Amino acid sequence: MPNPVAQFSPYSSEIGPLDKERINAMCLIEYPDWDSSDPPELSDKVKEYGNIGEFYNAVAYGAAQLTEYLHGGRNQVDLFSAYYRNLPSLTVTDSGEVGFRQVDLLIHAITEQGEGISSAREDIVYSFQNTATDPDPQLSHFEKFIKLRGKLPETYVVKAEGGYSPEDQELLKILLADIARLRNMLKKLFSGKNPGDFLPLMLTVGADIQNCWKHGVTPRFD
């Protein structure tokens, strides 16, 4: 099993401007072939998985074990199928084995978008490519972070927390309040309710985050 930590050091997963440390952390999270063991090494704690892909492999493995309990058509949310015109479905509509294939497809879509197929240099599967808002839809997230690592983006200058003005503090308070509302609304959404203001609130949180950055304030989420 390769260990890319040395290659992507130093790294940091603390929230901060998208510098080399943060990009290294993202490369580690999305690194392909971190663990290809089958069955995956299972853990009860999400933080014990090597990366996102390994975690999702475990989810897929678990779903395969519980196929007979899988019921489609319940609590499904589809906001993005128009962004993936070549993907058969973004929801699980069937039960049992057929439903599991839909689950497995969606997990594959997530992991392959993130890490690519198995090698860092191959295009991701055509059906998993974003057909709308991505100028490089064939590249996995890992590949995209590698590109960014080669040319770091311009970022907002951030202040030390002790230097925040009352206005800065207020922006953080607004963000934290909206995040709390969003969490509540997500719970409703995934429990089959249809909270009408979910979409504007999701976008408002995005605006809050960038508003913080624009003022040199590092966003916080709790």
Partner 1 sequence: MTTKTVFRIHPTINLARVGTSDEFYLSPETSAGLPLEGTTTTGGLPIKPGTESEFIDSEDLRDANGALKRQAARFRLFAYDIDGPDSYPDGGGTEIVPGPLPDGRVLQEIIWTVHLANKKAAAFCVVPNKGVDAFADGKVPQLRNPGTYGTTGVVDDKVRLQQLMIDPGPRAIASSSTQPVVFNATTPASYGDGDKIVQLLDYPQAFPSTTNDELYEPSGPLDSLGELRTDKKGRLVVLPGKGRTAAQIDEYGVPIPLTGDLNNVGWFDDQSDGPVSATLVFDDGTTEEAFGAWVVCCDPSYAPQIRNVVSIWGDVYDTFVRELNLQPDLYNGATQKFDPEFKPAFDSMVLPVFRASTLQRWTANLPDIAVKAHDAVDRITAKDDPDKTIMAGLNFIRNPNISGETNVGVPLMPLSVGDAGKAFLTVTKTQYFFLEQWSRKKFTPGGTALGPGEQLDFASLSNCLGGRYVPGIEMSYPVRQPDIYITDWRESGSGPFRVKHQKLDYEKARKQNPFLTGGWIPLHNMTDGLQPGDLSKFMAVPWQTDYNSCSIHQTSINTDDVNTSTGTPTMLYWSWPSQRPDAVYLADEVINGVLPPQQWSIRGAGTYSDNPATAATFQDPLQAVKQWDRIGVVLQGTAIPGHEDIPEYYLEAKSRLQVPGIPTNPVLAWPFNANPHKGQKL
Applying CB under 8 A, which residues contact partner 1?
Answer: 79, 81-83, 85-86, 126, 130-135, 137, 170-171, 174, 196-197, 199-200, 203-204, 206-208, 210-211, 214
Least distance (Å) between residue 200 CB and partner 1: 4
| Nearest Cα residue to 167 out of 218, 222, 212 | 212
| Nearest Cα residue to 31 out of 48, 56, 53, 58 | 53
Least distance (Å) between residue 132 CB and partner 1: 4
Instruction: Please state, in angstroms and rounded to a whole number, the distance separating the CA atoms of residues 123 and 30.
Output: 15
Least distance (Å) between residue 204 CB and partner 1: 5
Helix (H) or strand (E) holding 67: none
Least distance (Å) between residue 74 CB and partner 1: 21
Closest to partner 1 by CB, 16 vs 206, is 206
**String of DSSP letters for 186-220:** HHHHHTT---TTHHHHHHHHHHHHHHHHHTTPPP-
Closest to partner 1 by CB, 71 vs 85, is 85
